[in-house]
Amino acid sequence: MRHIAANALTLLIVGLVVLGGIISWGQREFVAEGPLQSTICLRVEPGASLRAVSQSLDAQGAVRNTSVFRIGAQYTDRADRLRFGSYLVHEGASMDEILDIVTRGGASTCGSEVLFRIGVTRAETILRELDPETQRFVELARFDAETEELPEVYAEFTAAPDVRYRVAVAEGATSWQVWDALNRAAFLDGEVEEQPEEGWLAPDSYEVQAGADRGALLARMRARQESILNELWETRQEDLPYETPYEALIMASIVEKETGVADERRQVASVFVNRLRVPMRLQTDPTVIYGITEGRGTLGRGIRQSELNAVTPYNTYRIDGLPPTPIANPGRAAIAAALDPDDTPYLYFVADGTGGHTFSTNLADHNRAVARWREIEADMRARQLEEQQGN
C-alpha cells in the first residue's frame, strides 16, 4: 500500500513538474518574438471569435501555436475584448503584442481608405489600400469630386465596415475651395451655409468618421490654424512690420501663393517685409487674382492691364500695405516664414524657369531677370506649339 502511495506521489510530483514546465514554456512562447517574416494586414471581422482570429493568424504565419495564443488571451483577460478593424502586424510581433493590437481599439491602421483631397485647382476622391509589406498606399481608383454620381466602385469599396476616411487640404487652397468641396463630400453630413473666413483653415490631413459633421470638421481646421498662428507668433522676430497675428496670417498667405519651393519661403517673405519697411507697394499678382476670383478657383488666364490699373482692396499695385484679408489658407511653413523671414537686401523676384525665382536688390537687375524669364516663357510656348502641331 505504501508502495502504491509512493508511486502515486511520485507521479503527482512528476506531473506537476511537467505542468510547470509546460506553463513556463507557454509563457515564454507567448511573449517571444513571433515567426512572422513580413508585415501583414490582419482583418478582424465584426463579431469574430478568438478562435477565428487565431486561425487567421496561423494561416498568415504570425503565430506558432494557436492554443497558446487563445490561452494567453484568456489568462490576460483579453479574450472578450477584440475590436473589429484592419490592423498592421509587424514582422516578429509576439502573441502578446498582437493581442494588444487587436484589443486596445482605436482606428484601423491598414486596409482600405477613402482619401478626399482638396487641392488648389481641384478636389478629388481617391480609393486606396495600404500594402502592409511596403507600408505604402496602392491607388485603386480616382475620380473628380465634382462628379454628380458616384461610380459603382465607390459603393462597393465603402461597403466594408472598417474603411477609413481622410480629408487632406493642400497648402494654398482657399476657404471657398475647401467649403465647396466639403459640401460635395458624400461621406460627410450636416450643412454649412456660410463660407469660412479666408486663411483660417489649416492645410493638413484629417481623419474622420463616415457621417462626420462638416461644421465640426471646419471647426477643427480653424482651431488648428489658430493654434499654429498663436504658437509661431510668440517666437516671431522682433520689429516685424505686423501689428497683429492676423496681419502675419495675411502675409503668410501671400508667401504661400508666391512660391511652391520650400527653401524659398523665407526669402520671398524677406522681399515683402523689406518692401513694407521701405515703404514700397507689395505689387504681387496673387492678391490681384484673388480680388478678381474671390478665391473661387483659378483665374485661367493672364491678368489684364485694366485689372492691374483698377483700384481695389486686393490690387497691391495700386494700394499701400497689405490687402484686407488673407488670399488663401497658408500652411505652417509659410506662417513660420512670414514670422521669421531671412535677413536679405532683396526687393524683387521673378520666376527663373526652374520652378524657383531670381532675387534682385535693384530694379535694373530685376528687369534683366524679367527679360530672361520672358525669353524662357517664349521658348516654352514655342515648344508647346510644336508638340501640338506634331500631334
- Domain boundaries along the sequence of the chain: 30-110, 112-228, 238-339, 347-391
Q: Specify the higher pLDDT residue, 164 or 223.
A: 223
**Whole-number Å distance between alpha carbons of 15 and 219:** 65
Using CA atoms, how far apart are residues 371 and 101, in angstroms rounded to an integer?
61
> What local confidence, expressed as pLDDT, does residue 98 receive?
86
Mean pLDDT of all residues in 210-225: 96
Q: What is the pTM of this model?
A: 0.80
Separation of alpha carbons 246 and 181, rounded Å: 25
> What average pLDDT does the segment 261-266 reach?
93
Question: Residue type for 358, please?
Answer: T
Question: Where does 30-110 sit in CATH, by number?
Answer: 3.30.1490.480
Kindly give the residue spans of alpha helices, DSSP state H, lying in 172-264: 175-183, 214-234, 245-258
Q: Is the peptide bond before 151 cis (omega within 30 degrees of 0)?
A: no
Q: Say what the pLDDT of residue 322 is.
A: 97
Report pLDDT digits (tens) over 320-374.
999 999 999 999 999 999 999 999 999 999 888 888 899 999 999 999 989 998 8
Query: How many Å from the N-terminal Cα to the C-terminal Cα in the chain?
Result: 105
Confidence class for position 23, pLDDT limits 50, 70, 90: low
Nearest to 167 by CA among 193, 186, 191: 186
pLDDT tens digits along 128-165: 998 887 878 899 999 998 776 788 889 889 988 778 89
**Residue 193: which residues within 8 A CB-CB, separation 6 or more?**
none
Please provide the size of the chain in residues.
Answer: 391
Q: Which long-range contacts (CB under 8 A, 24 or more apart) does 347-355 make?
A: 347/271, 347/274, 347/275, 347/278, 347/280, 348/271, 349/267, 349/268, 349/271, 351/376, 352/376, 353/380, 355/260, 355/261
Which CATH superfamily groups domain 347-391?
Classic Zinc Finger (3.30.160.60)
